[in-house]
Amino acid sequence: MKRTTIVVAALCGFALMAACADGSSTSVTPTPSPEMSQAEEEPGALAGVTWVDGTPPTLEFETPLHLAEGASVFRVVREGDGPVVDPGDSLLIDCVIVDGADGSMLASTYLGSEPIGYTVTAEAAEGDYVWDAVVGQRQGAQIIIAVTYAAASTATAEVEPTTSVLALTITAVAAGPDGGEVLSRAEGETVTPSSPDLPVVELAADGSPSITIPETLLTSTELVSEVLIRGSGPPLAVGQGVWVHYSGWLTDGTQFDSSWAGTGEPFTFTLGGSVITGWNQGLEGVPVGSQVLLVVPPELGYQDQEMGSIPANSTLIFVVDVLGSA
């Protein structure tokens, strides 16, 4: 189940969450310039920017720092010593974004206590300055990136083109069950369900699941974690980054969420982190490559809180494909 976190536009290309002084946040949707280039390694443009270690790290530079609209540059501060990042790899990245105008922090993955997932796809290379900066680097590398977006719109005002500066660390490079790329769907041995009172899962050609809920659905105060496809990879452990595809339903069959919809990008989280307890408990020890059916009682889900289309005190049903870990 999705955790609440900061979504960093400079990494994902979607929405930049600028932290406000009172702790609230304002969503800004940047519009990349048609001239937005891939990041070019121009150390001279960032020669005056100093990376200061800390949690989070800080960037010191003379303000204002400004690039031409659509421009982006990067500089490797420290080389990594882990696996090399190749196109197609999935990464965990920690990142701090500061305003080039005054050096103030705009967003940080550290505020959510968990790194975010990023996939280095060839399709994303066009205009993706993060892709160009991380490909060929090793896990552990620390990189400074500066980028200028075109004008953006908020709910209340137009935002002029602005330069942001990123302190980025490649925290981990993910792997599928065989040590290669993260899977696109579960792969392994099919396992016969232990009870006829569990939802029946059917898979579409692309692997996306649908379910049929029996009238005698097994619900209780206990968590149900049932492996439907047993993968051949290492078992998941607390503290690992995990890549999954998932769909979730209420017990009346209403689907409330699915990572298969929209862009079809996997969901990334840290096991033992800020996902619901039913996920942390139900996925620990599951081999990478597996598909798991979870029936999560309210006590291990959202309890007496209403969450969007999920009523309070709801039992939740999930089908989770474990695609990779790091």
Q: 211, 257, 267, 310: which one is catalytic?
A: 257
Q: Is 129 a catalytic residue?
A: no
CB 137 within 8 A of CB 85: yes
DSSP 284: T
Interatomic CA distance for residues 136 and 132, integer angstroms: 9
Task: Round the CA-based radius of gyration of the chain to a whole number and report it.
Answer: 21
Q: 129, 246, 267, 269: which one is catalytic?
A: 246
Q: Is 318 a catalytic residue?
A: yes
Q: Is 246 a catalytic residue?
A: yes
Q: Is 118 a catalytic residue?
A: no
The contacts of residue 165 (CB under 8 Å, 6+ apart) are 46, 49, 59, 61, 65, 97, 98, 99, 100, 144, 145, 146
Q: Is 252 a catalytic residue?
A: no
Q: 74, 118, 267, 318: which one is catalytic?
A: 318
Q: Is 302 a catalytic residue?
A: yes
Alpha helices in 187-308 (DSSP H): 277-283
The contacts of residue 102 (CB under 8 Å, 6+ apart) are 63, 64
| Full 3-state SS string of 104-136 | CEEEEHHHHCCCEEEECCHHHHCCCHHHHHHCC
CB 309 within 8 A of CB 160: no
φ, ψ of residue 236 to 5 degrees: the values are -70, 140
How much of the chain is in helix, strand and coil states, percent to nearest 5? 10, 40, 50
The two three-digit tokens of residue 126, written as one number: 């066009």
Q: 144, 302, 317, 321: which one is catalytic?
A: 302
Task: Please identify every residue annotated as catalytic.
Answer: 246, 256-257, 276, 302, 318
